[in-house]
Chains A and B, each alone.
Chain A
Amino acid sequence: MAPSPICAERPAALPILAVPIGERDVVRAAFAWNLVVEVARLGGSATLLAPEDDEPSPLWPEAGPGPVGSEVILARAEGLADLNRCALDVAVSRAADSADGGVVVVRVPPTWLGPGRDGRALLRWVLLFASPERRDLLEAYGLAKQLLLGGNGGVVGITIHGARRVAEARSAFERLADVSIRHLGRELLSYGLLVDDLHVYRAIVSRRPIGIEHPQSRAARALRDLARLVLEDARSFALG
């Protein structure tokens, strides 16, 4: 069978990656924003959508165009259903302009993840950040449980951050994945690891992406690997 022309495979909407992040969780917020910038650096369309806070943290990136074509949009959303509608609007409009695919990353307040809420379609593809600390792994597992048993049949990916060694990150992910299989009967997807070095925290305060300020740092290289994984999956989800 002859391959289809690429233009015929352009999706009607970009895939949406939901990332649960608490409103004061500046480290993970910085990860999400830097991930979006890295996706843009790899040539994908990249938008970060977040609900507008009444008291926005000065550490969150401002709305508007960002580095290398990335974008931050703050939406008035009272709950998951509102946020889902905004995310779909963005995903459809950006798909029309993106020849190389891309992703819409959506910050979801963790309190909106509970069962029985409208708008759970937003949670079909979710990325959780977890450190190897016991409480962090427990929290990531609890969130994965809510997501996987919530009835939306989604994919939950895990990125481990804050590990001192690759082996520690691998062990943390394997522990989570193992517990998920035994208690929930569901698999978790590995999205690698991130490195918490000084550049991450400098990026938070200066609001400058790590991949541009310190492209050779361990933090930037790890983010680039994560962005590559996300973009590859986004392209396969979009076409699949």
Chain B
Amino acid sequence: MADLALTAPPPREDLLRQLRPRLAQVAPGLRIIAEGLLGADASIDFVGVEPDGRVVLVLVGGADQDLELVARALAQRAWVERRLRDWLQLAPELGLRPEAGVRLLLLSPDFRPEAESAARALGPDAPTLAVYRCVRNGAGVDALLEPLRAPAPHAAATRARPAGLQPFRTGLTDADLGLTPEEHLEFE
């Protein structure tokens, strides 16, 4: 059996190719639908769909890019969220469910405490963080993924609720705002 030893990541293209088949370990059932998609001023490494139709954006960062990765992920999510309904119309066969939101999966060789704090501060919309490590396996290099923390526990519960009952961005609900059915209809 060949010896395994940690090694520096290979060139980015090779790294992405090695990480791709590992993504299901941190996002079970993930189906990749796009690679290298040009999003908000930069490319999104992988775009996938979970079995329930939620879109997953995967961003891969290098050493010491963890904070930048969190920022880029927020920008890309905002960019994608605004286009999900367009994508659904263009490709209904993909099974996207825009109302399920967008999950972020960030891969980095390391996450410093401040990057973890920044991610955690996003509450239920916090990205899933996973560390990748590259190992030399005989003559080749392979990449391994290790989730840093599980997705927010109530994210699934939020997804399961009908759209009309989801809390607003402020955390308030329809009931808190005392909206009448007629007022609701105005924004349908």
Contact = CB atoms under 8 A, between A and B. Distances in A.
B67 A110 contact: no
B117 interface: yes
Nearest to B179: A142
Contacts of B188: 134
Contact of A198 (B72, B114, B121, B171): B72
Interface stretch (A6-14, A17-25, A226-234): A17-25
Contacts of A25: 169-170
Interface string A169-199: 0000001000100010000000000001110
Given A141-B187, A198-B42, A204-B71, A146 B178 contact: yes
Contact of B172 (A23, A142, A206): A142
Contacts of B94: none
Contacts of B4: none
Nearest to B120: A58
B6 to A, nearest CB: 28
Contact of A110 (B42, B78, B172, B174): B172
Given A22-B171, A58-B118, A110-B172, A143 B71 contact: no
B180 to A, nearest CB: 8
Contacts, number: 116
Contacts of A175: 186-187
A121 interface: no
Contacts of A57: 121
Contact of B177 (A24, A146, A202): A146
Contacts of A21: 170
Interface in B76-134: 78, 82, 114, 117-118, 121-123
Interface string B156-188: 000000010010111110101111001110111
B162 to A, nearest CB: 12
B41 interface: yes
- A-side interface size class: 35 or more
B175 to A, nearest CB: 10
A16 B137 CA distance: 63
Contact of B187 (A20, A137, A146, A162): A137
A24 B118 contact: no
B172 A24 contact: no
B77 to A, nearest CB: 9
B67 A200 contact: no
Contact of A136 (B41, B71, B169): B169
Contacts of B24: none
B contact patch SS: helix
Contact of A205 (B68, B78, B171): B68
A21 B121 CA distance: 15
Nearest to B66: A205
A106 to B, nearest CB: 15
B74 interface: yes
Interface in A40-79: 57-59
A136 B168 CA distance: 7
B123 A24 contact: yes
B177 A201 contact: no
Contact of A58 (B41, B114, B123, B163): B114
Interface of B: 40-42, 67-68, 70-72, 74-75, 78, 82, 114, 117-118, 121-123, 163, 166, 168-172, 174, 176-179, 182-184, 186-188
10 contacts: A22-B169, A27-B74, A142-B179, A143-B177, A145-B183, A146-B177, A198-B75, A201-B72, A204-B74, A205-B67
Complex A-B, nearest 10 residue pairs according to Cβ-Cβ distance, in ascending order: A142-B177, A110-B170, A139-B168, A205-B71, A22-B170, A201-B75, A24-B123, A57-B121, A58-B117, A201-B74
